[in-house]
Every structure is written in structure tokens, then in C-alpha cells.
Amino acid sequence: MKKNNHKFNKSIFRAYDIRGIVSETLSVKDAYFIGYNFATNVKQKFNSVNIIVGYDGRLSSPILEKNLIQGLLNTGAYVTRIGVCTSPMLYYASERLRADGAIMITGSHNPSNYNGFKILTKEGSYFGKEILNLLKTKIEKPLLGKSHYFNISNSYISELVDAIAFDKKNISVVWDTGNGSTGDILKKLVKHLPGKHIMINSDVDGTFPSHHPDPTEEKNLIDIKKSIKKNKADIGIAFDGDGDRIGVLDSEGNFISGDKLLLLYAMDILKNKPHSKIIADVKASNIIFETINSLGGEAIMCKTGHSLIKAKMKETKALLAGEMSGHIFFADDYYGFDDALYASVRLLNIISKGFNIKKFLDKFKNLYSTPEIKVFCEDNKKFKVINQIIKIAHKKYKKAIYIDGIRVNFSYGWWLIRASNTQPAIIIRCEANSKKNLLNLTKEVELILSEFNLKLKI
């Protein structure tokens, strides 16, 4: 057995996945060894190596797939290729085909020169220390595995169609796939959906010519807002690059944040399944937790991160979970993973019942909040900064939560400071019951950050 002398750029190994700049921090050789090392670990754990591989529409994805699969095959693995797909399609394939593991090649919502790997096994997400184990595996004599292509799209579409529970012919929806990999599968899905459906930026194009594929940033919603207005649509739905995050806008083009969207789904589930457990990430508004509990549900606050939330859902048997970033996880009549297309169908089911979104949003009219603010902080410094702020918080604040960074509650609002697990950044969010109190909270956070030479820009 030979030692693996290949050296990775360690910056590509993140908390939940592997992500880097292609040909700079992430190479095709990395893809080979990620495949080889992962399959070796899977074989040791399960005594079998049946791996599914899919990829998004980025220009670098096919060459990374080729090298990744070669690494998998050289362990003797049996590889099922599903081609261009969304991350949820890969998760679905893994469930239905009962794979030992699966790898999605995707840069998610990062710029077009990025790419990466989302990894899972039949036991769940592959993250944290498990990802770091990919650095350590030793090489054995290459074996000859086998691979074949499998079309998962028809089965996946059938699953989504089975979830459709409305026949409202006059509903009008604008869809913006941001040139991500959701485009092709959405074109098939809308043929089964009642109503009028307008698709924009729907051609899969890894250069993302229309806009950056992040549906939570205002600058990326210009196209869909224009189309909603032009077509007098009831709702707009946007996606990120690999289809696991959803962004929703009402008929007036107002963006509905991820935590509000989560509450909308929670209210619907709790009507028929009271006492259900619902998970929201640490960035969510207090009103989300309060409303879920008042409706008889059990609201659970969780660390941010799709892998962490999936693990928490499994642990608590929660029926629903969501993040501010637009990851929505349904274990209610579904598999428990984040699927933006499935979330879209569930949303249209709710709206078709006559759900009044404007009235729903009125719940939040007396709340003032910042968006998610990212303050640049180098990867090798950000967690040290957070640890220092935690020490300060222990001495200064009585009502602080340390689930993920520091969240401090006051009678009039709260603020959150945490380290991003995917970017060189400190994440800030503040919420208050008045503009004045919001300003006071942001000033307090600004003062704390200034002690570490970090500048808060709102």
C-alpha cells in the first residue's frame, strides 16, 4: 500500500462540501483523488461501493466528472452516472437506487469559475471530519470498476407530479432558473402544472449570462421582478445554480425571505399534523419560532448549514426545516432533503387554496431587519474572531445563544454574529421592533467588530 502523495489545497475543504476555483485551488487531479479516496472509505465502511455521480451545468463540470469517475472506478466501484442534474435529483437517485454513496459536482451559487463536490453516503450527509478524511487515504493497486448511465429524470418528474394537489387553471407563475441546471427539468415539470407558466433564463449555461445564480440577492431578482409585473403574475419563483435553494416573490415583486417561507409551509403542515417539530436556522426571525410554538408545533433552532440541518432532522424526526438562504427540507411526505422544485409544488398547492400572501406578510410589517450581511474576514481568522466575541458576550450579555456563533436577545430585538462555513466572511443579522432600535443594534454590532478591525457596511 502506497502513501497518497497528492497534495490538495486545503482551502477547498469546507464544512459541508468541497469547493474551489477551477485550475487555481481545485484541479482535475483533485477530482480523481476525491473519487478514489471517497470510494475507498465507502468500501471500508459498507463493504460495497455503489456510487451515483451527477453534475451541474458549469463548463468545468464534465472534465471534473470524467476524472472523479476514473478515481472511483480504480477502487473497483460500480458507478451510476445520471448526467446533468440538480442536487436534489442526485439525492433522489441515491434514495431510489439505494446507493452506498453519491457525489454531486456543483459550484452551487458561487461564480462561474468555481466548482466543487457535495458528497453523501446512505447514512446521510458527508461533512466535517469525514470530508477531511479524504486527505488521508492510501493508494492500493488500481482495480477495474464499472459504470453505466441511468436516466433518473422521468422517475423524478413522476414524484413531483404526484405531489401536485391543485387544478387552478388561472394561476400565473414566473420561473427564473438563472441558467442553472434546474432549467431542463423544469421545462418538463411545467407541462404537468395547471395554470400559466412563464420561464426566463431557462437555458442551462455555465457562464450564467443573465445574472449570478443566487436567488436571495436583490440584484439577481431584477429580471423576475420585471416579468412578474409585465405578465401580472401571481407569484415568482427563482432558483440557485443546482436547484436546492428557492427564492419566492409575491405578485408585487416583494421578496419573501427564507424564514418567512418556512413559516408559510409550517402553518400549512401544522393544520393537519399538530405538534410537529419544525427546524429553523439560527438566522431566522424570532416570530418564526414564536408562531410555530403558538400553533402547537415545536420550533427548534439549529446551526446554519444544509448538512447540519439534515442531521438535526434525522435526530429529532422533524417534518420540516429551513434556512434563511432558501434551503427548504421536507420530511413531510418526502425524503427530508432540500429540493427547490418540490418546495415550489408545495407552495403552489398552498396558494391555490386561496392563501393570502399579502395578509401573511402583514405579520412582519412591524419588524425591521437587516438582510444577511457578509463582512470579509479571512478563513484562518474568522473562527478566532468569533471565539473572542463569545468570551466578551459571556461577560456582557445574559440572554445569549451560542448554537452557532452568538445570538443576543433583547426585549426589542436581537443580533447575530457568526462565521460563514463556506466563505471568508463573518455573517451578521439584526432584527428589531422599530427602525431606531434596529439602528442601535447595528451600531452595537459595528462597535464589537471594530475591535477586530472589521467594518460593517449596510
What domain range includes position 92? 10-151
Last residue of a domain, one of 315, 349, 365: 365
Q: Count the residues in the chain.
A: 458
Inter-axis angle of helices 182-189 and 153-163, to 10 degrees? 50
Pair 28, 168 in one domain:
no
Q: Looking at the structure, do residues 22 and 141 belong to the same domain, yes or no? A: yes
More confident residue, 73 or 423: 73
Please report whether residue 129 resides in a domain.
yes
Residue 332 maps to a domain: no
Examine the domain organization and report whether 119 and 19 are in the same domain: yes
Q: Is residue 446 part of a domain?
A: yes
Q: Looking at residue 4, what is its pLDDT?
A: 63
CA dihedral sign of residues 150, 152, 158, 159: positive
Sheet strands (E) in 219-358: 235-239, 246-249, 255-256, 277-281, 298-302, 320-322, 328-330
**Per the structure, how many domains does the chain have?**
3
Residue pair 184/84 in contact by the 8 Å Cβ criterion: yes
Question: In percent, how much of the chain has pLDDT > 90?
Answer: 86
Residue 171 domain flag: yes
**Predicted confidence (pLDDT) at residue 365 exceeds the cutoff of 80:** yes
The reported pLDDT for the residue numbered 363 is 86
Q: Is residue 36 part of a domain?
A: yes
Residue closest to 406 by CA, chosen among 396, 370, 434, 239: 396
Q: Which of 100, 129, 151 is the last residue of a domain?
A: 151
108 labelled catalytic? yes
Q: Supply the pLDDT for residue 422.
A: 80
Query: How much is the pTM?
Result: 0.95
361 and 213 in a common domain: yes
Q: What is the CATH number of the domain that holds 361?
A: 3.40.120.10
Query: Is 288 part of a structural domain of the chain?
Result: no
Residues 118 and 255 in one domain: no
Q: pLDDT band at residue 150, thresholds of 50, 70 and 90?
A: very high
251 with 273, same domain: the answer is: yes
**Are residues 84 and 219 both part of a single domain?**
no
Is residue 335 classed exposed, middle or buried when 0-12, 13-18 and 19+ CB atoms within 10 A define those classes? middle
pLDDT at 15: 83
Torsion 385-391-396-402 (CA) sign: positive
Q: Is 125 found in the same domain as 35?
A: yes
Same-domain check for residues 225 and 127: no
Q: How confident is the model at residue 367 (pLDDT cuts 50, 70, 90)?
A: very high
Q: What is the pLDDT of residues 201-248, one digit of tens each?
A: 999 999 999 999 999 999 999 999 999 999 999 999 999 999 999 999
**Chain-wide mean pLDDT for the chain?**
95
Whether residue 409 sits in one domain with residue 398: yes
59 and 14 share a domain?
A: yes
Which tops the pLDDT comparison, 4 or 81?
81
Helix or strand holding residue 376 (H, E): strand 373-376
Distance CA 280, CA 144 (A): 45
Dist CA 444 CA 448 (whole Å): 6
Q: What does DSSP assign to residue 13?
A: B
Average pLDDT estimate for 174-195: 97
Residue 324 in domain: no
53 lies in a domain? yes
Mean pLDDT of 360-380: 92
**Domain C-terminal end among 129, 151, 173:** 151
How large is the average pLDDT for residues 323-350? 98
Q: Strand ranges (DSSP E) for 275-326?
A: 277-281, 298-302, 320-322
Give yes or no for residue 5 having a pLDDT over 80. Answer: no
Q: What percentage of the chain exceeds 70 in pLDDT?
A: 99
| Mean pLDDT value of segment 306-334 | 96
pLDDT digits (tens, 9 = 90+) for 272-298: 999 999 999 999 999 999 999 999 999
Q: Domain of 429: which CATH number?
A: 3.30.310.50
Q: What average pLDDT score do residues 41-60 get?
A: 97
Q: Averaged over 134-143, what is the pLDDT?
A: 80
Q: How confident is the model at residue 309 (pLDDT cuts 50, 70, 90)?
A: very high
Indicate which residue of 27, 108, 125, 202 is catalytic: 108
Both 90 and 30 in one domain: the answer is: yes
Higher-confidence residue of 16 and 161: namely 161
Is the predicted pLDDT of residue 129 greater than 60, yes or no? yes
